[in-house]
Structure 1
């Protein structure tokens, strides 16, 4: 959706109302013919958890399980459990609830600034500059634009490599940018590179992200998704998010249902 006047923006997605200590509620409500977008509820859960740690502790990893379909027209309530605050790390658990039922369960870990080596073994994936790549629509995202560079899997039904950036200026808040990255990270699927004649990826089961270095999401980042395996009715892929200057900002992995027949909620349909 566009960021025209009157339309919701990414900043609306990343706005929570504090109800009580460790208890938050989403404020953005809108009609959507599809189940609640997983990246939205995950980003809001991470934001709720981040509000309960020291400001200098930023997310370094998370693992979320999508347990039920949600509804974008209803608020989600986020309850945070403070598992531990150590000398350098803080651990949190979050559940997102709608109608008295848990739709998302997430564990997240936060780390204070730490000095040490900074090494990146592999170079960023090859991709044309965003200015030289064709536009691609990123469905279901508020205030994001995309560009499609050359594809490692040209026959994929949905791009597995694409540039993206927020179209609204974001404040200088590293937690907010990490939540924006998580919001983006659930769009697309590396499994779109697999043949669709017998089966197709369905709803997400779980999603994990590791934040290596800070990245601004109102600047271009490259998403690169790689399929690995399908077994037991589940498909699994990994991904990387790099900045325009080739710095690895985050790594991710996701598992989805992979059942016979086309998925009506497939991205781009």
Structure 2
């Protein structure tokens, strides 16, 4: 695939980088295409990642993303491109702020605020300890069983956009689950190497990955209702908002542990927290998401 162009809507991508690629139309205007995350709905993690990519294109290379806050306002249509309009809200001495509006069919579908800063030392730096869980090499690949039943064109394709390994809930060493606060632990990384050492590319890739399992954490076994993870057809899930903080350098094409928990589910909404750790135990990023959680009605 030509690295200088954006993949056409519906076109097969050849590497994870293609999922983040956007075209610059004007100084503060960009365009991208997103695949479906649900039938006829663009995957929210890709929309957020492309919006962050657009914001980062307008910031000095020395500043790095340290936080983002996004709101999903309407479902995107994976059959049509999305325009990303960047507002250069502030360029301060240390920090810079960008606001991005994602527009499709003349309607706003997503908004993002992102903050960038120059790196600096922190006296007394600290972090929480990484949970003791089995490593990704010890866990089965969930895609293998699915691929056996997948269409032939998928089985013959050498490309897969991401790698996931789910840690079983009964694995030894897991932190105790508090009543009413279900948790899950997932190892993840991009399915193909990311070129170079561009920090923006790494954080945008992790933004994409962070939206894969957070919403589902809110629909795990929740006391006292005990919504089972085996009944996804009865539960409607959709991301409402998404926030991330990036603490330390990392590579999204190397295994990261996503430790997630959901402290609340009520009023048709569920809240999930998550921390990302690299295999050396460094806490590299945190994420929080609120999701719509509804029981499907006949």
Which TM-score band (shorter chain)? Answer: 0.7 to 0.9
Asked whether 1:173 is paired with 2:198, we answer yes
Q: Give the Cα separation in 1 of the matches to 2:250 and 2:42.
A: 26
Match of 2:166 among 148, 156, 161: 148
Q: TM-score, normalised by structure 1?
A: 0.86
1:32-71 aligned within 5 A: 33-71=39-77
Match of 2:156 in 1: none
Q: Give the Cα separation in 2 of the matches to 1:27 and 1:232.
A: 33
Q: TM-score, normalised by structure 2?
A: 0.78
Match of 1:123 among 123, 129, 135: 129
User: Does the residue aligned with 2:204 lie in a helix, a strand or coil?
Assistant: helix
| Deviation for aligned residue 1:30 | 7.6
Q: Single out whichever of 187-196 and 172-181 deviates more from structure 2.
A: 187-196
Does the 8 Å CA contact 2:33/2:78 hold for their aligned counterparts?
no
Asked whether 1:196 is paired with 2:214, we answer no
Unmatched tracts of structure 2, length 5 or more: 1-11, 147-158
> Which aligned runs of 4 or more in structure 1 are off by greater than 6 angstroms?
29-32
Structure 1 residues 46 and 106 mapped into 2: Cα distance closer, same or farther (>3 Å)? same
Does the 8 Å CA contact 2:73/2:240 hold for their aligned counterparts?
yes
Structure 1 residues 8 and 100 mapped into 2: Cα distance closer, same or farther (>3 Å)? farther
Q: Give the Cα separation in 1 of the matches to 2:21 and 2:204.
A: 11
Match of 2:82 in 1: 76
User: Does the residue aligned with 1:45 lie in a helix, a strand or coil?
Assistant: helix
Unmatched tracts of structure 1, length 5 or more: 1-5, 264-269
| Deviation for aligned residue 1:235 | 0.9
User: How many positions carry a matched residue from both structures?
Assistant: 253
1:141-193: CA deviations, max 9, x gaps?
9621111223267xxxx982111111212121110000000000000132132
Structure 1 residues 97 and 219 mapped into 2: Cα distance closer, same or farther (>3 Å)? same
Larger Rg: 2
Q: Give the Cα separation in 2 of the matches to 1:31 and 1:219.
A: 23
Match of 2:269 in 1: 234
Q: Give the Cα separation in 2 of the matches to 1:13 and 1:28.
A: 7
1:189-218: CA deviations, max 9, x gaps?
321323227974521110000011111011
Match of 1:163 in 2: 187
Match of 1:248 among 262, 272, 283: 283
